[in-house]
Structure 1
Amino acid sequence: MDVQRLKQLLSREENEKMDFKAQLKLTTESEKKELVKDVTAIANSRGGRGYIIFGVEDKTKRIIGIEPDDSLEERIQQIIYNRTDPPVPVSLDLVKIKNKTVAVLTIFKSKHAPHQVLQTGAFYVRRGSTTDFARRSELASMMQENGLMTFETVIVKQARLEDLEMDRVDAFFKNINVYTDQFQTILLEAFGFIGQKNEGEFCPTIGGLLLFGKNPQLYLPQCYLKIINGDETDIISGNILSMLDQAVNRVKTIIKDENYPFAAFEEALANALVHRDYMDLSRGVLINITNKAIEIINPGALTQSKKVCLNFRECQPERRNAWLYQRIITIDERRRFIKSGVGMDRIRRSFEGIGEVKFINLGKQNSFKVILPR
C-alpha cells in the first residue's frame, strides 16, 4: 500500500466495502468487539476487497493520524483469528501521508462467508455505510453461493407427494432410461425430489416442487413470475417449465410482431428462472414491458466469479442452483436450458438491427437485469 493507492481510497465515499475511522483503539473489550463486528460485516458483504481506514474522519476525510505501532498488525490478526469463524483474511498497512500515519486494514474477498462473530454468534453485513445484522435469507444465500448448503434438497414438510405432477416425473426417468415401476419412491429420494419427513413418510423437496410441482407457490410463495404491461399485471405460477411456457405465450400476445426474436427472450427468461436467488423470499422474477423494451429482473446478482465472464461468449461461469440446472436440462424436452448462462453474446446478436441489449448486475440490490429492445 503506497500513498498513491491511499489517495485513491480516500477519494471514495463510505459504502459496503469502505469504512473510515478517526481512531484505532484496541484496549477495551468493547473496542475489540466493534472491530470484529465491522470486519465480519465487510467480509460478508457483496463485492471484492474491503477497507477500513483508521486515522481519517468519516465525514470530512480530514487526516488525523494514529500512533504507529510495529505490533499493531499482529494484534489485529490475533483478534480477528480468535474471534471470527471462519477467520477473516486481513492485512494491515501503515502509510505516511501529510506527516501523519494512517492505518489501512484490508479485508480480502472471502469464499468462506458467512463469517460469524464467535462471542455473540451474530452475523453482520453492511447496508450502505452502516453495519447491520444479516437476515436469514442473506445467510442462506451466502451459504449456498459458497457451497455450504444445497437448498433444493430441503424437504417441504407441509407438501404431499400428490403435489407433484407424476407424469413429468415419469418422463424425467424415461429420458435417462430409468424405469420406476417398482422403485419409484427410492428413486425419487435418491435424486433429491422427495425426502423423509418421518419413518416411511415422504414429502417433496424444494427442488422437487420447482421442477414437478402442480402449484409450488402454495408452499414457496416467492417463486412466482410477474408480467407488467402498462396498467395490466399478470401473476404466473406453476413449476419452472410451466411458468416459462405461460410467460412466453403471454408476451407473444402482447408483442404482436412475428419478426421479434422471441427465442432470445425465452433464453433470457430461462436464465432468470433457473439461476435466480431462491433464498430471497421477498420477490419473484419480473418482466416489465414498455414501448421501448422488455426488462427481465430476477433476484440474485452475479457472484464475483461470474462478473468477469459477462462479455465473453466462451466463458463457463459458476452457476447458482447447480442442482436445479443439472436436472432441468434433462426434464426440458425442448432443451432450452442447455444454452442457459452462456448465451449473452447470442442474445445480443439476435437483436442486431433492433437495438442494444443490456445486462446489468445490481449487486447492492441483489438483482440481475436484462433489457431487450423493442
Structure 2
Amino acid sequence: MNKQRLAALLDKNESTKLDFKEKLSIKTEWEKKELAKDVSAIANSKGGRGYIIFGIEDKTKRVVGIEEMPHLEEQIQQIISQRCDPPIMIRFDMVSYDEKAIGVLTIYKSSQKPHQILQNGSFYLRRGSTTDIARREEIAGMLQDSGLLQYETTALNNVHVDQLDSNILMEYLANSGLKIEYEKIDNIYPLLEGLGILCREEDLDKFHPTIGGMLIFGYKPQQFLPHTGIKIIDGKTREAQYFEGDITSMLNHVEEYLENIIKKPDYPIAALFEAVANAVVHRDYFSYGREIIIYISSGHIEVSNPGALCHLDGVQSLLNENNPYRRNNWLYHRLLVLDEKKRFLKTGSGLKRIKNSFSDHGRVKFINNEKRNLFKVILPGGFKTLY
C-alpha cells in the first residue's frame, strides 16, 4: 500500500469492501471482537479484496490519523487468526498521508467462505456500508460457492417419490447407459440415491426426492420450490407469463413462447435461448422469493438471474473463461445427459458467444450486482417492436 493507492481509496465511498474508521484500538475484549467481526464481514462479502482504513472520519472522510504502535500488525494478525475460522489472509500497512499516520488493513479475497467468529459462532457480512449478521440463505449460498454444500442433493423430506416423473427418470438412465426396466423402478431406489436423485430417511427407511432430483425429474417442482420458475414480462402491457415444470420442459415452453412473439427474421434468438439456459443452470437457488425474470420491451430484452458471479473477479473474467466455475455443477451434468436440444453442451466462452451474436444489432450488457445478488444479461432489440 502506498500514498497513491490510499488516495484512490479515499476518493471512494464506504461499501461492502471498504470501511473507514476514526480510531484503531485493540486493548479491550470488545474492541478485539469488533475488529474480527468487521474483517470477517468484508471477507464474506462478494467481490475482490477489501480494506479497513483507520484514522479517517467515516462521515466526513477527514484525515485524523492514528497513533503508531510497535508490533501492531502482529497483534492484528493474532486477533484475526484466533477469532476467525477458517483463517483470513490480511495485511496491515502504515501510510503517511497529509502528515498523519493512516492504518490500512487489507483483507484479501477468500475462497474459503463463510468465515465464522469462533467466540459466538456467528457469520457476518456487509450490507452496503454496515456490518450485519448473515441470514440463513446467505450462509448457505457462501457454503455452496465454496463447494462445501450442494443445494441440489439436499433432501425434500416432506415430498413423496411419486412426485418424480418415472418417464424422465427412465430416459435419463437409458441415456446414461443404464438399462433398467420400468417394472423394477422400486428396486432401483438405492441406485437413484447414489446418483443424488433420491435421499434416504434412515430412521423410517424411506426415500425422498432431492431438490436437484425434483428440479430435473419432478412433475411440478414449483409446487414445492415456488421460486424456481421463469417469469416473462411484457414491457408494453405489463402482463406476465409464468412458466413451470421440470427444467428441460420449462425451457422448451419458454423458447416456444419467445419464438411466437419475436418476429424479426434475423434476430439472433439462439443467443437469447442460451442466456436463458445459462440463467437456469447458474442461478442461486438459495435465493428464495425471486425467480428468473425475462423482461421484454421494444428496445431491449433483459434476463435477470438471482445469483451474482462467484469465484470470479468480474464479468471480464467470465467473458474470457473457457472452463467456467458452475454454481450448480450437479444440475449441469444431469442436464447434459437429459437435454435433447444439447443446450448445455455449449460450455466455455458462453457470454462472449452471446455478445458476438448481437454484433450487428447493438451492444450487449452484462451486469453483476453483488449487493442485490443478481446477474443481468441485457440484449438489444434493434427494431421498433417485438410483437
Give me the TM-score of the superposition, normalised by structure 2.
0.93
- Flag as ranges the 4+ runs of structure 1 deviating above 4 A: none
2:225 to 220, 224, 246: 220
CA contact (8 A) 1:309 1:315 kept: no
CA contact (8 A) 1:20 1:58 kept: yes
SS of residue paired to 1:63: coil
CA contact (8 A) 1:114 1:143 kept: yes
Is residue 280 of structure 2 the alignment partner of residue 276 of structure 1? no
> Hey, what does 2:12 align to over in structure 1?
12
Shift of 1:39: 0.7
Whole-Å separation in 1 of the counterparts to 2:361 and 2:279? 22
Residue 306 and residue 340 in structure 1: after superposition, are their counterparts in 2 closer, same or farther (change >3 A)? farther
* Matched AA of 1:45: S
> Pairwise mapping of residues 223-302 of structure 1 onto structure 2 (< 5 A)?
223-230=228-235, 231-302=238-309
> Hey, what does 1:194 align to over in structure 2?
198
> Hey, what does 2:82 align to over in structure 1?
82
Shift of 1:152: 0.7
> Hey, what does 2:38 align to over in structure 1?
38
> Hey, what does 1:110 align to over in structure 2?
110
SS of residue paired to 1:26: coil
Q: Identity, % of aligned pairs?
A: 49
CA contact (8 A) 1:158 1:219 kept: no
Residue 61 and residue 201 in structure 1: after superposition, are their counterparts in 2 closer, same or farther (change >3 A)? same
SS of residue paired to 1:53: strand
CA contact (8 A) 1:66 1:101 kept: yes
Whole-Å separation in 2 of the counterparts to 1:289 and 1:45? 32
Which string of whole-angstrom CA distances, capped at 9 and with x for unpartnered residues, describes residues 224-249 of structure 1? 11110032111111111111111111
Is residue 360 of structure 2 the alignment partner of residue 350 of structure 1? no
Residue 306 and residue 128 in structure 1: after superposition, are their counterparts in 2 closer, same or farther (change >3 A)? closer
> Hey, what does 2:323 align to over in structure 1?
316
Whole-Å separation in 2 of the counterparts to 1:340 and 1:284? 23
SS of residue paired to 1:131: strand
Root mean square deviation, CA, Å: 1.4
SS of residue paired to 1:195: strand
> Hey, what does 1:205 align to over in structure 2?
210
Shift of 1:33: 1.2
Whole-Å separation in 2 of the counterparts to 1:185 and 1:39? 46
> Hey, what does 1:365 align to over in structure 2?
372
Alignment coverage as a number of residue pairs: 373
* Matched AA of 1:196: R
CA contact (8 A) 1:272 1:285 kept: yes
Shift of 1:144: 0.4
Shift of 1:180: 2.3
SS of residue paired to 1:102: strand
Which string of whole-angstrom CA distances, capped at 9 and with x for unpartnered residues, describes residues 88-135 of structure 1? 111110111222211111111111111111111111110111111111
* Matched AA of 2:232: I
CA contact (8 A) 1:180 1:187 kept: no
Which string of whole-angstrom CA distances, capped at 9 and with x for unpartnered residues, describes residues 205-231 of structure 1? 000001111111111111111110032
Whole-Å separation in 2 of the counterparts to 1:4 and 1:309? 26
Whole-Å separation in 1 of the counterparts to 2:267 and 2:285? 30
CA contact (8 A) 2:322 2:348 kept: no
Is residue 188 of structure 2 the alignment partner of residue 184 of structure 1? yes
Which string of whole-angstrom CA distances, capped at 9 and with x for unpartnered residues, describes residues 185-220 of structure 1? 122111000011244310100000011111111111
Shift of 1:350: 2.4
Shift of 1:337: 0.9
SS of residue paired to 1:187: helix
> Pairwise mapping of residues 6-155 of structure 1 onto structure 2 (< 5 A)?
6-155=6-155
Whole-Å separation in 2 of the counterparts to 1:320 and 1:208? 16
Residue 160 and residue 340 in structure 1: after superposition, are their counterparts in 2 closer, same or farther (change >3 A)? farther
Whole-Å separation in 2 of the counterparts to 1:260 and 1:9? 43
Shift of 1:349: 2.9
> Hey, what does 2:175 align to over in structure 1?
175
CA contact (8 A) 2:322 2:347 kept: no
Structure 1 gaps of 5+ residues are none
SS of residue paired to 2:232: strand
CA contact (8 A) 1:209 1:216 kept: yes
Whole-Å separation in 1 of the counterparts to 2:244 and 2:54? 51
Give me the TM-score of the superposition, normalised by structure 1.
0.96
SS of residue paired to 1:278: coil
CA contact (8 A) 2:85 2:116 kept: yes
